Structures are given as structure tokens and as C-alpha cells.
Amino acid sequence: MMHRKIILRIVSKQLIPFILLFALYVQWHGDFGPGGGFQAGVIFAAGFILYGILFGLGTLRRVLPSWFTRLCLASGVLIYSGVGVAAMLMGGQYLDYDVLSDDPVHGQELGILLVEAGVGLTVFAAMVTIFCAFAGRDRVTPRKN
């Protein structure tokens, strides 16, 4: 049905790159102001979900195959937990960012940056996966008794 909405498709095609760019801004600016990994992940996923709504689930899956979203899910969790394990191996506690660098301030910045990147990647992949799971289901019509 969306294939007949030509204006919506053209305008959205022009807006999606800006949505993704804004998500990256929220991701990397999150430690200086409002935002961070969760918000950026949702915004980034929203761009792809809009693409999927307008151009179809099959087209979205060609752009983002399911193996890629699963890889992003696992990678995000590994990045997050890897920062904690790295801190423990360096003599600190789990997610104790101070030990990640010689200067505790730089360690805090690095730790937060990496953890937020892991969160953003995981949230992005989870949102796209959830959308594809629900969009790929056939509608079930209720039975009449």
C-alpha cells in the first residue's frame, strides 16, 4: 500500500540520513548533555523502521539482514561487559572506569564512551529485531463463533 504514496517515500528518503545523523550526534554528545546510548539506539532504529514501513520488510532485510542485527545485539553486550571485565583485569571493580587510563578523568571518559556505544548498538539492534518480528507476522483474523 505504501508503494502508492510517492511523496511520502521521496520525502522520507531525504529525511532518513538526517535521522541517522541526529542519532549519531545524540550518541557521541550524550556524555556532555541529554542523550546517550539508549536514546541514540532508538533514534537510529527509528530511521530504519521508517524505511521498513515505507519500502517493505523485504527491502529492509536486504539492507539489514538478520545475521547483522544478531551480530549487533551480541557485539553491544560484549562491548558493555568487556569494559567491566577490562576494569577488573586492570585491578578495579566491575565498570570502575578510573583504572582504564593513567588519568582517572580520561578513564571515566573512555569507559562511559565505550559503555554508551555498547548500549546504543544493542538497543538499535533490539528495536529493529522487534519491528521485523512483528512486521513479518501475518494478521490473524478472529474466529466467529
Indicate if the pLDDT at residue 60 is higher than 80. yes
The pLDDT, as a whole number, for residue 49 is 95
pLDDT digits (tens, 9 = 90+) for 36-47: 889 999 999 999
The pLDDT, as a whole number, for residue 141 is 63
Strands (E), 20-143: none
pTM of the full structure? 0.85
Domain ranges, residue 27: 2-135
Tell me whether residue 70 is in a domain. Answer: yes
Tell me whether residue 14 is in a domain. Answer: yes
The pLDDT, as a whole number, for residue 137 is 72
Q: What are phi and psi of 119, to 5 degrees?
A: -65, -45
Cα torsion angle, 53, 54, 59, 63, sign: negative
Please give the tally of structural domains in the chain: 1
Tell me whether residue 144 is in a domain. Answer: no
Contact 78, 118 (CB under 8 A): yes
Query: Cβ–Cβ contacts within 10 Å for residue 99, how many?
Result: 17
Tell me whether residue 141 is in a domain. Answer: no
The pLDDT, as a whole number, for residue 31 is 63
pLDDT digits (tens, 9 = 90+) for 107-127: 888 888 899 999 999 999 999
Contact 83, 95 (CB under 8 A): yes
The pLDDT, as a whole number, for residue 139 is 63
Please compute the mean of the pLDDT values over residues 49-66 and round it to a whole number.
92
Band of pLDDT at residue 23, cut at 50, 70 and 90 = very high
Burial of 1 (0-12, 13-18, 19+ CB in 10 A): exposed
